[in-house]
Structure 1
Amino acid sequence: MKYWALAAGAALAVSAAALPAQAAAPERSGAPAPLTGQGVYLSYGNGIRVLKNDGRPVWASRDASFAGQFSASPDGRKVAWIDGKGRLHVSSTAGGKTTDKVVARGAAYGGPCMTPAWSADSRRIAFPTTAGAGGSGQGDRTAVAAVGSDGKGLTTLGTTLGPCHLTWSADGRTLAGYAGDTVGVHLLTTGSRVSAKVPGIKLANHVESLSPDGRRVVVNAIGANADAGDGSWPLSFVPSIHDTRTGKKIAIPVEGRLIGARYLRDGRLVVRVAGKAGNTLVVLDSSGKTLQSLSEKPAVRRLGLLQITG
């Protein structure tokens, strides 16, 4: 069943100051350090839980009516989430103590797919906003804002027809998200504040990540008769990579049943492959060459992978 996420075309009345630049991916003189397999995972057991692969908690929802609008920071230390009053929170758990801070108001609420998106340096959060309208119809645009994880530097980024499962490129210049009715993926260029539809992707119900330069996007492309779902974070999905300018589908040179893929800040692509006892993470360079193959812990085999932290 297709649906439209709750959104409004009117922009939130926030500062129109220039977007503070996020830190660029560090220059590397040689090969990047090998991954160790550290990550942040999602569980839908008793409520929604975000945890590290050793079982340490990062965050958990406490409200049974929570719509599921959240995302984990790339460093794996924090979770941004939107409550029923349209407030954007940043929460974390360390040493058994949970901290929570409201960093912005006026966020769009009500659709699980309307998740906030972190910058690559884990310092800023982009989020869909609403001016108080009760919903949106086909063709309506959603305003997107950004704020620091400390609540400072609130600014508008523009409007887009793709506010669902927003993801931010590492260079800070592009946001990608899918349309609430699943008809296409849209890119929002933060400098010009305009958005455009990615060619070649007819239907999609999840956007996972962008390459650092925004030229490639990882999505879950679906067929015309597929169930669109409710917009919640998937525990797994069949990854499809497309060139955001031409729409060309990029082959993923990894064998097995693929259940996810994600770009890292330095441009490496990590592909998740299903296994009977435990899943495998295959790390590729920009040319598609395999750099590593890592075994996930068996305990996280059925959990969703939100971030790869090391």
Structure 2
Amino acid sequence: MNSRILPGLALAAALTIPAVVTPGAALAGTTSAHTSAAGAAAPKPLAGVAVYLSYGKGYPISRYEPGRGFTKLGGAPDTFQFAASPDGEKLAWITMDGRVHVKAGRSAKVVAKGAGAGAPCATPVWSPDSAHVAYLGRSNADASPLMIARADGTGARKAGKTRGVCHLAWSGDGWRLAGYAGTTEGVYTLDLKSGRSVRAKGVKLANHVQSLSPDGRKVVVHALSPAAPGGDGVWPTAFNPTIVDTVTGKRVPIPVKGTKLGAFYLEDGRLVVRVAGRAHNTWVVLDSAGRELQRLAEPAQARRLGLLQIVR
């Protein structure tokens, strides 16, 4: 894949973008015995609410909630440039004419134009509070402009430039984004405070970025060997995750046994590792020190589906 045909990010150094989430904010309530060093209550256990993707007929994207089952949110368009919001209630996608669409409930509208289109990996991304959408503008350069708009289409502005144009992820503190290069040659992070976009250390080749730690320092990627194919850029339903510290380049251990299908950081710093099973897949929830906090079974119907978002 040629990175010159893919959209990316361009950052005005003086631009100030307000943080949308307090870093490390803990969820209220708990039934767990774990507490922080300061004696604060541990986060509330996950309930299993999530958004799933199927590459079956119509490419449905659905929200699952225990007790209610699956609710269809929409379908993935043929460009495969789509994203589900963290609150599990909205979808964003880009059509071949470069229009950014947002669907909330039964209402859908075009919120922006001029987005890079036709490259499956050039996906939009939602801010942690589900209020803003970031997307890549059209560009023939290696580094392409990133735009940010509110979910209602107002306030669109340039927010940066980066070569990390594929499968964008947004950190829980609201200040950093990351994506892999269209050539698969590395991952690039963008700091919205300083305006700097830099190549992450420790990632030579990758074809998926699934998640960022709340401070944007650790990235969950699908790392590739030199002989591995780059793929077609669509969102994978499953992959063996690697976590890398983008500053030191060191790999972060994932102390979970079994076949791993992906991993997500939550806004409070917990890591959710998706593990394959014969009857159903399982979420293994770890704290920031790698200690297991919780295990949660996915519905059997989700066993072969892609996991787009963990809602709660």
TM over 0.5: yes
Q: How does 1:263-302 map to 2 (within 5 A)?
A: 263-302=265-304
Of 212, 221, 224, which aligns to 1:222? Answer: 224
Q: State the TM-score, normalized to the length of structure 2.
A: 0.89
3-state SS of 1:187 partner:
strand
Of 187, 190, 199, which aligns to 1:188? Answer: 190
Q: Is contact 1:17-1:155 (8 Å) kept?
A: no
Q: Is contact 1:59-1:92 (8 Å) kept?
A: no
Q: Is contact 1:6-1:109 (8 Å) kept?
A: no
3-state SS of 1:56 partner:
strand
Bigger shift: residues 173-182 or 29-38: 29-38
**C-alpha distance 49-8 of structure 1, shift in aligned 2 (>3 A):** closer
Q: Which residue in the other structure is 1:73 paired with?
A: 85
Please state how far the C-alpha of 1:21 moved relative to its aligned partner.
Answer: 3.2
Does 2:115 align with 1:107? yes
Alpha-carbon distance between aligned partners in 2 of 1:290 and 1:9, rounded to the nearest angstrom: 37
Does 2:127 align with 1:119? yes
3-state SS of 1:272 partner:
strand
Alpha-carbon distance between aligned partners in 2 of 1:10 and 1:246, rounded to the nearest angstrom: 23
Alpha-carbon distance between aligned partners in 2 of 1:194 and 1:10, rounded to the nearest angstrom: 10
Alpha-carbon distance between aligned partners in 2 of 1:85 and 1:305, rounded to the nearest angstrom: 27
Superposed CA offset, 1:216-242 (max 9, x none): 000000111111111100000100000
Alpha-carbon distance between aligned partners in 2 of 1:104 and 1:283, rounded to the nearest angstrom: 37
Large movers: runs of 4+ above 6 Å:
none
**C-alpha distance 99-203 of structure 1, shift in aligned 2 (>3 A):** same
Segments of 5+ residues of structure 1 without an aligned counterpart are none
Please state how far the C-alpha of 1:10 moved relative to its aligned partner.
Answer: 9.2
3-state SS of 2:301 partner:
helix
Q: Is contact 2:7-2:122 (8 Å) kept?
A: no
3-state SS of 2:169 partner:
strand
**C-alpha distance 5-164 of structure 1, shift in aligned 2 (>3 A):** farther
Please state how far the C-alpha of 1:162 moved relative to its aligned partner.
Answer: 0.7
Counterpart amino acid of 1:109? A
Q: State the TM-score, normalized to the length of structure 1.
A: 0.90
Alpha-carbon distance between aligned partners in 1 of 2:255 and 2:9, rounded to the nearest angstrom: 43
Alpha-carbon distance between aligned partners in 2 of 1:215 and 1:10, rounded to the nearest angstrom: 18
Segments of 5+ residues of structure 2 without an aligned counterpart are 28-39
Of 70, 73, 84, which aligns to 1:58? Answer: 73
Q: What percentage of aligned pairs have identical amino acids?
A: 50
Superposed CA offset, 1:260-305 (max 9, x none): 1000111110000001111010000000000000111110000000
Q: Which residue in the other structure is 1:234 paired with?
A: 236
3-state SS of 1:55 partner:
strand
Query: How large is the RMSD of aligned CA atoms in angstroms?
Result: 1.9
